[in-house]
Chains A and B, each alone.
Chain A
Amino acid sequence: MYVEMKEICKKFGDYEAAKQISFGIEKGKLVALLGPSGSGKTTILRMLAGLERQDRGDVVIEGKVVNDVPASERGIGFVFQNYALFRYMTVYDNIAFGLKVQKADKQKIHARVMEMVSLIGLEGLEKRYPNQLSGGQRQRVAFARAIAPNPQLLLLDEPFAAIDAKVRKDLRKWLKDMIQKVGITSIFVTHDQEEAVEVADDIIIINEGRLEQMGSPIAIYKNPKTPFVAQFIGTSTVLENMVGFKGYDDALDGKKVIVRPEFVEAFKSDNKKFANMMNAVEEGVIENVVFRGSYLELTLLVNGVRLTTNRSLERRHVDIGEKMCVLLYRVYLFDDKGAEIRKNQLLKGIDVEAL
């Protein structure tokens, strides 16, 4: 492991920002710390950087415990949420700052700064001040400033939060490409699951100061370990009551049930494709239809509970109030011991995935 947090605890007064947080990150990975606001993710980043000190536990970088190493000597690049560019310095001086502090040779500084400026594609803007740049350009300068002194680890605090939605998409791709190009181990904080899934190699999910789950985006999506993760990643519905659902009549008591849209199938009763599954069908009524840009989102009332499913635009037209046949392929079950995926017992032997 290149970067490790070992049983880190941190309190601000009565507020517990980190409860026994432990994780390790391999060299060269791009990792997202994902969680809702107030979950403690930024505090974890700041403890890694040395801007905040943990109450207990160890921060380990490259096999060395760095608890007592001040931020300035950890050799970490940090991109702040609102960039924190030095407003009284030009782009050039901003990027050169770290190198000047290290008392590097003047010609070397110039060469490195120009290399950075061309890397971020801002040639010709070196003499501008931060307030003469757009949000996206400031973000690029902040990135260049952080990596100019060649840090071994790059930390980014909500790097896309201050940028409008359209530019954000481009910047995400740009940042991912840049980090791969430079090959630097990077950790970024975000509250946006879409962003984490799209950009990161691995995601660490934080909630209320606890580490909920760590893994690749697809692994976390397919096998959530806690109800929180299941609800936070992807869209999902919590079912309070599953009484009467065909195929789920065994031992669901006391367990939390969470359903994803793709676990639910809704079709018209004359649809031949599902003929072999009619024994598991429930009746549902369409309560709402929302156009989501490239598909329809249907809300169905089934056995007194609301289920959501996505419907391809290629399929037949449906109306609000229409009666549909509804299949529930599988659900997530959570209890104190852990999580499991329960398949519909009446569909045993049928290859649902092939549909």
Chain B
Amino acid sequence: MEERSSKIAKWCLIGISVAFFLLMLIVPLFEVLYRALADGLEAYGTALGAKTTLSALKVTLLATVIAVVVNTVFGLIASWLVTKFDFRGKNVLSTLIDIPFSISPVIAGLAYIMTFGRTGWAKPLLDGINEALGTDIALVFSVPAVVLATIFVTFPFISREIIPLLYAQGRDEEEAAAMMGASGFTIFRKITFPHIRWGLLYGVILCAARAFGEFGAVYAVSKARGKTFTLPLEIDALYMAGSADSITQAFAVSSLLVGMALIMLILKNIVEYRGKRDDL
């Protein structure tokens, strides 16, 4: 009797979950593909080949690559600091790392405008630097602004993956290596890195996936279509244009983003599987 009722419960839960996933995820995603191809492959190809789409793809990839590189370096430094050293304010720092998780990305974007925009307090400073170096860097409504906003919203991903691993490893193995005369770099390379490599890669994938799809923060600091727009912004612009053609184009570009997300998902699962298999 007991067994039978738990079996019923199991199938009920499976049914509910499957229905939910179908309705909320699978059907809408298929809808994207269906609508993208509604006007035929030729229209699909034209939409993807449009100048604005290619520009948006370029900006998105650039922002993603830079965000991943910067956050990998920052994430390693921050997690090393938090787990291997004791200092005043350590808890504050590890809370600060999580801020992008809890703050709406749009606020992050607006904060950049308030800081570096025309009326922002850091604007004269930036102008001074530009003048001195003879450059023309703008930190709002520009590609650098898009990159900065992307970095901001994705920076906890990597450190959050590594910190628990480093805590679990403890300091013993590193001390043992140090006792035998190994340098800090050798210790990192031979002892610490093998322990965190899968977690690090996992964090990189999550970080990249989030960077592709970021909308709010980027929306606040990017206003020039064809120059500083990313894929999500381009989709929004196409969709908002409202003509039948542009809506189909919006779905075509969306399918590109969905494809990139699926690749990330598959990579994530491979990494998870390998990480578990290698876990000693």
Residues of A within 8 A of B (CB): 49, 51, 71-73, 76-78, 80, 82, 84-89, 97-98, 101-102, 129-131, 145, 149
CB pair B195–A84 under 8 Å, yes or no, is no
Q: Is A131's CB under 8 angstroms from B280's CB?
A: yes
Taking a contact as CB atoms under 8 Å apart, the answer to whether A84 and B178 are in contact is no
Residue contact B181 to A101, C-beta cutoff 8 Å? yes
CB–CB B181/A87 < 8 A: no
Query: Quick check: B180 and A72 within 8 Å, CB to CB?
Result: yes
Q: Which residues of B contact A89 (CB under 8 A)?
A: 190
Q: In angstroms, how far is the closest chain B Cβ from the Cβ of A93?
A: 9
Instruction: Check B177–A86 contact: CB distance below 8 A.
Output: yes
Chain B neighbourhood of A73, CB < 8 A: 181
With beta carbons under 8 angstroms apart, the residue of A77, A86, A102 that contacts B173 is A86
Q: Mark B169-206, 1 if CB is under 8 A from A, else 0.
A: 00011011111111100100011001100000000000
Note all chain A residues with C-beta closer than 8 A to B191: 86, 88
Can you report 15 residue pairs joining A to B where beta carbons are below 8 Å apart?
A: A51-B175, A71-B178, A72-B178, A72-B180, A78-B175, A80-B172, A84-B172, A84-B173, A85-B173, A86-B176, A87-B280, A88-B280, A101-B186, A129-B280, A149-B181
Task: List B contacts of A88 (CB < 8 A).
Answer: 191, 194-195, 280
Q: Which residues of B contact A129 (CB under 8 A)?
A: 280
**13 more A-B contacts (CB under 8 A) besides A84-B172, A88-B195?**
A78-B176, A80-B172, A80-B176, A85-B173, A86-B173, A86-B176, A86-B177, A88-B191, A88-B280, A101-B177, A101-B180, A101-B182, A145-B176
Contact B180 A49 (CB under 8 A): no
Q: Identify B181's interface contact among A72, A80, A86, A131, CB under 8 A.
A: A72
Determine the distance from Cα of A49 to Cα of B176 in the docked complex, in whole angstroms: 11
B136 CB to nearest A CB, Å: 49
- CB pair A76–B179 under 8 Å, yes or no, is yes
> Which 3 A/B pairs are nearest by Cβ-Cβ distance?
A84-B172, A98-B180, A88-B194
Tell me the complex Cα distance, A130–B176, Å.
15
Chain A residues with Cβ below 8 Å from B280 are: 87-88, 129-131
Chain B interface size band reads 10 to 19
In the complex, chain B residues whose CB is within 8 Å of the CB of A71: 175, 178-179
A98 to B186, CA, bound (A): 12
CB-CB under 8 A from A51, the residues of chain B are 175, 178-179
In chain B, what residue has the closest Cβ to A76? B179
Given contacts A86-B173, A88-B194, is CB(A97)–CB(B182) below 8 Å?
yes
Interface string of B68-95 (1 = CB under 8 A from A): 0000000000000000000000000000
Residue picked from B172, B179, B183, B186, most chain A C-beta under 10 Å: B179
Q: Is the CB of A72 within 8 A of B179?
A: yes
Give B contacts to A, CB under 8 Å: 172-173, 175-183, 186, 190-191, 194-195, 280
Asked whether B182 lies within 8 Å of A78 as measured between CB atoms, the reply is no
Contacts of B178 in A (CB 8 A): 51, 71-72
Residues of B within 8 A of A86 (CB): 173, 176-177, 190-191
Residues on B with C-beta less than 8 A from A101 are 177, 180-182, 186
Q: Which residue of A lies closest to B194 (CB)?
A: A88
- List the B side residues contacting A87 at CB < 8 Å: 173, 195, 280
Distance of A157 Cα from B186 Cα, bound (Å): 24
Cβ–Cβ < 8 Å partners of A98 in chain B: 180-181
Cβ of B179 and Cβ of A78 under 8 Å apart? Answer: yes
Closest to A81 in B: B172
B186 contact set on A, CB distance < 8 A: 101
Return B165 CB to nearest CB of chain A, in Å: 12
A86 to B177, CA, bound (A): 9
- A84 CB, min distance to chain B CBs, angstroms: 3
Nearest residue (CB) in A for B181 is: A72
Question: Chain A residues near B175 (CB, 8 Å)?
Answer: 51, 71, 78, 80, 84
**Across the two chains, which residue of chain A brings its CB closest to B169?**
A87
Contacts of B194 in A (CB 8 A): 88
Determine how close the nearest CB of chain A comes to the CB of B87; give it in whole angstroms: 14
Q: How far is the CA of A149 from the CA of B181 in the complex (A)?
A: 10
A77 vs B179: C-alpha distance when bound (angstroms): 7
B180 neighbours in A (Cβ, 8 Å)? 72, 97-98, 101, 145, 149
- Cβ contacts under 8 Å, B182 to chain A: 72, 97, 101
Please indicate the chain B residues that have their CB under 8 angstroms from the CB of A80 in the complex: 172, 175-176
CA distance A98 to B177 in the complex (A): 8
Task: Determine the distance from Cα of A98 to Cα of B181 in the docked complex, in whole angstroms.
Answer: 7
| A72 CA to B191 CA, complexed, in Å | 16
Q: What distance in Å separates the Cβ of B220 from its nearest Cβ neighbour in chain A?
A: 44
How many Å lie between the Cα of A131 and that of B279 in the bound state?
Answer: 10
Smallest Cβ-Cβ distance to B175: which chain A residue: A51
Query: What separation, in Å, do the CA atoms of A94 and B106 have in the docked complex?
Result: 51
- Residue in A closest to B180 when the chains form the complex, CB atoms: A98
- Which B residues touch A49, using CB under 8 A? 179
Chain B residues within an 8 Å CB radius of A85 = 173, 176
From B180, B182, B280, residue with most partner A Cβ within 10 Å: B180
Closest Cβ–Cβ distance, residue B88 to chain A (whole Å):
13
Q: Once bound together, how far apart are the Cα atoms of A129 and B280, in whole Å? A: 9
List chain B residues, Cβ under 8 A from A82. 172
Report chain A residues within 8 Å CB of B173. Answer: 84-87
Whole-angstrom CA separation of A77 from B181 in the bound complex: 10
Q: Across the interface, name the chain B residue whose C-beta is closest to A132.
A: B280
A42 CB to nearest B CB, Å: 13
Residue among A51, A72, A77, A149 with most chain B CB within 10 A:
A72
- Expressed in whole angstroms, the minimum distance between the Cβ of A279 and any Cβ of chain B is 62
